Structure 1
Amino acid sequence: MLTEFGKEIRKLRIEHNDLLKNMADKLGVTSSYVSAIEHGKKPIPADFISRLKGLYDLSSDEIRRLEQAKEESALKVNIDLAGVNKKQAILANAFARKLNYFSDEEMEEIMRLIDGD
């Protein structure tokens, strides 16, 4: 699933008639790296927007949209559950849904369990 930032850079590619590989080549990275950024599997590099700005001569509105999308995307986490068993997948999804309901003390206890203390 594309992140908000991924949607914005895909829109840029389409508007500039660029394929994923073309954009990646122009940025000096692989197409799989750009795809991973689009899908939230890799963090967005600090200089990525400025590199896009130079590449596509972006307007201030386009830059603002990219920056907003980057902020929104940073608040979301994608978890690849391929290879986990059913119970693990259920636990990961349940935890994600209920994250806001844990108290600080409960979060500390969960962290102790995870860290093995």
Structure 2
Amino acid sequence: MTPFGHKLREIRAERNITLKDMAKGLSVSSAYLSSIEHGHRGQPSRRFVHRVCQYLNIIWDDAEELEELAIRSDPKVSVNTAGLSPKATYFANCLAEKISTLDDEQIEAMMKVMDEEFDGNLDSSSE
């Protein structure tokens, strides 16, 4: 599941909206919406996120949060280390190899280190 899909599913549950009803309201199939929620469709388009916000009447900061989550929801991310140090390439490969073995606590710890290093520009609250 992606951060966007997780949040979308959470909002639907809070508002007691069925997948079928929301899909109909967005003019997409239930299968498509389910695949977005479960991260099987890749990163949602800005247009789709905008339609979701309109359908759910989400504005301002909440809409920005959903847009940011969509940006960070590519389930098939790739990292280009061309031109970086050998250590950067090694690190990217190690992370790709081991990420499936990390639990949420370990990921949060790594995100905290990165967040502190980059002056709070990373948001690890997108679970």
Flag whether TM exceeds 0.5 (same fold).
yes
TM-score of the superposed pair, with normalisation by structure 2: 0.56
- The equivalences for 1:22-37 within 5 A come to 22-37=21-36
Cα offsets for 1:32-90 (capped at 9, x unmatched): 1011111221131331111012111112122122112112212x329xxxxxxxxxxxx
CA contact (8 A) 2:46 2:67 kept: no
2:71 match: 71
The structure with more helix, counted as a fraction of residues:
1
Match of 2:49 in 1: 49
**Counterpart code for 1:15:** E
After TM superposition, give the deviation of residue 16 of structure 1 in Å: 2.0
* TM-score relative to the length of structure 1: 0.60
Q: Any residues of structure 2 matched to 1:1-117 within 5 Å, and which? A: 2-43=1-42, 44-74=44-74, 76-77=75-76, 96-97=96-97
- Are the aligned partners of 1:6 and 1:39 in contact in 2 as well (CA < 8 Å)? yes
Distance in 2 of aligned mates of 1:7 and 1:65: 13
Q: Which has the larger radius of gyration?
A: 1
User: How far apart are the structure 1 equivalents of 2:18 and 2:45?
Assistant: 20
SS at match of 1:77: coil
Percent identity between matched residues is 35
The 2-side partners of 1:50 and 1:33 are apart by 16
2:55 maps to amino acid: L
Count of aligned pairs between the two proteins:
81
